Amino acid sequence: MKAIRLKAPGGTDQLEYIELATPTIAVGEVLIRVKAISVNPIDVKTRAGQGLYGMIKIQNPLIIGWDISGEVVETRSESFTVGDQVFGMINFPGHGKSYAEYVAAPASQLALKPATVSHDEAAAATLTALTVWQALVEKAQVNAGQNVLVHAAAGGVGHLAVQLAKHLGAHVTGTSSGANKEFILSLGADKHIDYHRYDWTNSLNEFDFVLDTIGGDNLDRSVDVVRKGGMVISISTGISNETAEKAKQKGVNAFFMLVQSNGDDMQQVASLLESGALRVHVFKSFPFSEMAAAHHQVESGRTVGKVVVTV
Ligand SMILES: NC(=O)c1ccc[n+]([C@@H]2O[C@H](COP(=O)([O-])OP(=O)(O)OC[C@H]3O[C@@H](n4cnc5c(N)ncnc54)[C@H](OP(=O)(O)O)[C@@H]3O)[C@@H](O)[C@H]2O)c1
């Protein structure tokens, strides 16, 4: 099978197309013929030697990528049968080995793809959708009437976070540049903030929950706009000692969260996709031969929705 190996940490020239034996599967796993892969900022960071690189660098060959949708072609699990169309985020955080034509995946990390959703859309609703599910539902327990702020609401995570928060009944504000205002309102957001013009002091103590996808000063300011007793989840960077202390003094629960592979959560995502509560916006789909271009798009930081690679 064709796969893409990361030769060494660095630029996209380190992504090398190679021939590999099709993976064998262990008990509890299925073999998936991959139809689509989604590319996330963590792929780009790991390729560049950050992100998960330190954790998986001893793997040889090192095959990055975690988000897939495809067809089960062999199974050693009772959960799925040959021919099932499945999607999931594989072995995150760990060695996903998903930049390949075939992926061996634990059945416990997968869900059936809704028939109404394409493989491109399904692949795009794995890491990002699990992140928003685990943050908004499992950690923050966002509920009706709450005031929620989603940063980078036009991005892969943010555009799903806006929709999930609305589905949970919250009043949702999303940030982006002015160029993406209409997109964010079209997702159901009640209010848009252009971060280039935002005066943070206008919103002091306004929100019950903030999903911070930016980090640094943005995260620190997020603590200011959350009410006492509220919550800030950071997914981009860890929390500095200063910001952690500020949150503690204010009585705000601020912490970093890392998404985890989880089949039960994937099934929740599948239900949300099937009901239409979550809709994925695929910004651009690249062929497998153009993985480098997909990385360049994600690296630009200007993606609206998700970048996908078809296999
Ligand atoms: N910890 C975890 O488990 C976890 C999980 C998923 C993602 N993440 C991290 O979360 C971050 C976001 O991921 P993503 O997939 O959503 O990224 P993404 O899709 O690449 O985000 C792109 C979007 O960010 C917006 N943006 C850039 N700077 C902004 C700012 N200062 N304020 C508001 N919006 C801004 C851009 O909108 P404009 O063009 O309008 O500026 C663009 O639409 C990444 O760092 C990623 O690694 C962490």
Q: Is the Cβ–Cβ distance between 181 and 192 less than 8 Å? A: yes
Pairing of β 102-106 and β 67-75? unpaired
> 125: burial class by Cβ within 10 Å (0-12, 13-18, 19+)?
buried
**Residue 263 resides in a domain:** no
**Residue 272 resides in a domain:** no
Query: Does pTM top 0.95 for this prediction?
Result: yes
- Tokens encoding 146: 């709450």
**Residue 266 resides in a domain:** no
Which residues line the pocket of ligand 1, CB cutoff 6 A? 40-42, 127-128, 131, 151-152, 154-158, 175-177, 179-180, 195, 213-214, 218, 235-236, 257-259, 298, 301-304
Say yes or no: 169 and 49 in one domain: no
Please report the atom of ligand 1 found closest to the CA of residue 40. 15
| Distance from Cα 99 to the centre of ligand 1, integer Å | 22
Is the pLDDT at 202 greater than 90? The verdict is no
CB contact set of 95 (below 8 Å; sequence gap of 6+): 56, 59, 62, 63
Mutate to test the pocket of ligand 1, among 157, 159, 265, 269 (most ligand atoms within 8 A of CB): 157
Say yes or no: 251 and 151 in one domain: yes
Q: Mean pLDDT, to the nearest integer, of 168-180?
A: 98
| Distance from Cα 154 to the centre of ligand 1, integer Å | 8
Please report the atom of ligand 1 found closest to the CA of residue 304. 43
pLDDT digits (tens, 9 = 90+) for 24-39: 999 999 999 999 999 9
CATH number at residue 159: 3.40.50.720
Going by CA atoms, what residue is nearest to atom 34 of ligand 1?
A: 152
Say yes or no: 8 and 118 in one domain: yes
Say yes or no: 244 and 177 in one domain: yes
Mutate to test the pocket of ligand 1, among 38, 46, 50, 176 (most ligand atoms within 8 A of CB): 176
Q: Mean pLDDT, to the nearest integer, of 69-85?
A: 98
Which of 20, 39, 23, 43 shows the shortest CA–CA distance to 31?
23
Say yes or no: 170 and 250 in one domain: yes
**Residue 62 resides in a domain:** yes
Mutate to test the pocket of ligand 1, among 127, 133, 181, 235 (most ligand atoms within 8 A of CB): 235
Say yes or no: 12 and 87 in one domain: yes
Say yes or no: 138 and 196 in one domain: yes
Say yes or no: 85 and 140 in one domain: no
| Distance from Cα 184 to the centre of ligand 1, integer Å | 14
| Distance from Cα 181 to the centre of ligand 1, integer Å | 15
pLDDT digits (tens, 9 = 90+) for 255-307: 999 999 999 999 999 999 999 999 999 999 999 999 999 999 999 999 999 99
Mean pLDDT of the chain: 97
Omega prior to 41 cis, within 30 of 0: no
**Residue 56 resides in a domain:** yes
Say yes or no: 119 and 134 in one domain: no
**Residue 265 resides in a domain:** no
**Residue 69 resides in a domain:** yes
Distance of CA 117 to the CA centre of its chain: 17
Q: What is the number of domains present in the chain?
A: 2
| Distance from Cα 86 to the centre of ligand 1, integer Å | 26
Say yes or no: 298 and 212 in one domain: no
Going by CA atoms, what residue is nearest to atom 22 of ligand 1?
A: 155
Please report the atom of ligand 1 found closest to the CA of residue 259. 3
Rounded distance, CA 279 to CA 258, Å?
Answer: 23
Range of the domain at 236: 128-256
Say yes or no: 105 and 155 in one domain: no
**Residue 121 resides in a domain:** yes
Q: Mean pLDDT, to the nearest integer, of 153-168?
A: 98
Sheet of strand 226-234: strand arrangement: 191-194, 171-176, 147-150, 207-212, 226-234, 253-256
**Which of the pair, 90 or 204, is modelled with greater confidence?**
90
Say yes or no: 188 and 251 in one domain: yes
pLDDT value of residue 199: 86
| Distance from Cα 307 to the centre of ligand 1, integer Å | 12
CATH number at residue 101: 3.90.180.10
Is the pLDDT at 201 greater than 90? The verdict is no
